[in-house]
C-alpha cells in the first residue's frame, strides 16, 4: 500500500523537463530584456525560445513558450510602464503594439510547432517503412538457408543486448541491430547446395561463402543514406580479433559493431542444429565463446556477453528458431 502511495506521489510530482527548459529560456530572455535600453526592439528576441520550443518539442511547448513570454511582458508593461516609452507614447499605442507582438508570437509558435510535428510524423513513417523492409529482407535471408530459420532475428536480439550492456548510444545500438538483421544478406547469392552441404566444404565452397559479406555490401551500398553506417559492420562481421578472419583485420581495426555481431552470430550458430553437427547447449556455446576471447573475439565484447548471458531469454530464442519472425 505504501509503495502504491509513493508511486502516486512520484507520478503527481513528476517534472516535465521540456516545460522547465522552455520556461528557463523565456526567463533568461526576460532577464536580459529588463536590462536592455531599447526594449521595444528586443521584444523580437522572444521568438528565440518559441522557435527552439517548436523545433525540439513541438507545437504544445512552442505555444506555451509564447504564452509565458506574453505573460512576462504584460506583467512588465503593467509594473514598469516606463519600460515601453518611445516616440509614439501612450497606453493605447503600447497596448496595440504588445497585442500585435503577442499575436504574432502565438501564431509563430503554433505554426512552427505544427510544421515540426508534421515533419516528425513523416520521418516516423519513413523509418517505419525502412524497418519494415529490413524485417522482410531478414526473413528472405533466413529462407535461403532452411537450417538457419530466424537466425538473423536472434543475432539482432543478442547483438542489441550486448551493445546496450557496453553502454553504446541508442543510435549506434539501432545500427548494430539492423546490421545484424542483414549480416547474411550476401548468402542469397550462394548456392543452397553449399549452404546445406553435410560433408566437408571444398576450397571453392569456402571461397564462395567468404564473399557473401562483400556481396551484401554490393547490394546495399547503392541505397546510400542511413544504410552506409551498416556496411562496415556487415562487411567485417566474420573478422577475428587475432587477424585470422576473412579480411585479416586485427583488434580494434575491426569496427566495434562487427565485433559485437561476430559474438552473437557464432553463439547463435553454436546453439542451432546445422547439417554437419547437432546444436550445443547454451552453456556449451558460452564456454566456446569464453575460451576464444582474445583470439577470435574482442575480450570487451565477450565480457559484455558474459554479463548478459544469465538474462538471455532462451525460451524466446528457441521459439524464434522455429518461427518466422
Query: Over the stretch 164-179, which tens digit does the pLDDT of each residue have?
Result: 999 999 989 989 998 9
C-alpha cell at 179: 546490421
Domains of the chain are 13-121 (no CATH), 145-321 (1.10.3210.10)
C-alpha cell at 230: 551498416
Q: Where are the alpha helices (DSSP H) in 166-255?
A: 170-182, 192-195, 203-210, 212-220, 231-235
The helix (H) or strand (E) run that includes residue 285 is helix 282-291
Share of the chain above pLDDT 90, in %: 18
pLDDT band at 232 (very low <50, low <70, confident <90, very high): very high
pLDDT over 80 (residue 137):
no
Q: What is the pLDDT of residue 5?
A: 46
Measured CA distances, 269 to 147, 272, 286 (Å): 10, 5, 11
Query: Over the stretch 247-262, which tens digit does the pLDDT of each residue have?
Result: 878 888 999 999 999 9
For residue 249, what is the DSSP state?
Answer: -
Half-sphere exposure of 125 (CA within 13 A, CB side): 6
Ordered DSSP codes for 116-179: HHHHHHHHHHHHHHHHHHHHHHHHHHHHHSGGGTTHHHHHHHHHHHHHHHTT--HHHHHHHHHH
The pTM assigned to this predicted structure is 0.61
Q: Which range, 82-96, 180-194, 223-237, 249-263, has the best average confidence (pLDDT)?
A: 249-263
Q: What is the pLDDT of residue 79?
A: 76
What SS3 state is found at 97?
helix
Q: What is the pLDDT of residue 322?
A: 47
- What average pLDDT is seen over the chain? 75
Could you tell me if residue 225 is left (phi over 0), alpha (psi between -120 and 50 degrees) or otherwise beta? Answer: left
- For the residues 282-287, what does the mean pLDDT come to? 90
Query: Over the stretch 87-133, which tens digit does the pLDDT of each residue have?
Result: 444 566 667 767 777 787 788 777 877 778 777 777 776 666 566 66
C-alpha cell at 97: 503594439
Amino acid at each position: 500500500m505504501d509503495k502504491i502511495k509513493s508511486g502516486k506521489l512520484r507520478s503527481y510530482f513528476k517534472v516535465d523537463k521540456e516545460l522547465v527548459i522552455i520556461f528557463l529560456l523565456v526567463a533568461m530572455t526576460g532577464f536580459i530584456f529588463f536590462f536592455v535600453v531599447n526594449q521595444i526592439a528586443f521584444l523580437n528576441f522572444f521568438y528565440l525560445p518559441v522557435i527552439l520550443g517548436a523545433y525540439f518539442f513541438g507545437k504544445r511547448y512552442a505555444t506555451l513558450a509564447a504564452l509565458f513570454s506574453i505573460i512576462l511582458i504584460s506583467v512588465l508593461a503593467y509594473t514598469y510602464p516606463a519600460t515601453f516609452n518611445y516616440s509614439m507614447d501612450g497606453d493605447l499605442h503600447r497596448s496595440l503594439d504588445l497585442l500585435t507582438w503577442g499575436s504574432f508570437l502565438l501564431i509563430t509558435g503554433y505554426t512552427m510547432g505544427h510544421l515540426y510535428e508534421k515533419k516528425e510524423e513523416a520521418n516516423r513513417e519513413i523509418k517505419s517503412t525502412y524497418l519494415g523492409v529490413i524485417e522482410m529482407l531478414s526473413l528472405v535471408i533466413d529462407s535461403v538457408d532452411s537450417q538457419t530459420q530466424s537466425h538473423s532475428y536472434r543475432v539482432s536480439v543478442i547483438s542489441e543486448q550486448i551493445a546496450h550492456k557496453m553502454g553504446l548510444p541508442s543510435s549506434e545500438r539501432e545500427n548494430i541491430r539492423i546490421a545484424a538483421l542483414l549480416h547474411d544478406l550476401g548468402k542469397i547469392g550462394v548456392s543452397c547446395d553449399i549452404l546445406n552441404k553435410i560433408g566437408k566444404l571444398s576450397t571453392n565452397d569456402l571461397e564462395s561463402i567468404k564473399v557473401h559479406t562483400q556481396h551484401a555490401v554490393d547490394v546495399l551500398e547503392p541505397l546510400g543514406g542511413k544504410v552506409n553506417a551498416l556496411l562496415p559492420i556487415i562487411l567485417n562481421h566474420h573478422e577475428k580479433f587475432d587477424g585470422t578472419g576473412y579480411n585479416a583485420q586485427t583488434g580494434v581495426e575491426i569496427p566495434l559493431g562487427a565485433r559485437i555481431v561476430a559474438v552473437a552470430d557464432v553463439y547463435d550458430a553454436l546453439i542451432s542444429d546445422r547439417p554437419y553437427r547437432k546444436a550445443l547447449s547454451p552453456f556449451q556455446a558460452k564456454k566456446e565463446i569464453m575460451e576464444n576471447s582474445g583470439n577470435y573475439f574482442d575480450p570487451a565484447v565477450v565480457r559484455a556477453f558474459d554479463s548478459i548471458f544469465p538474462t538471455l531469454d532462451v525460451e524466446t530464442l528457441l521459439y524464434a528458431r522455429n518461427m518466422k519472425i
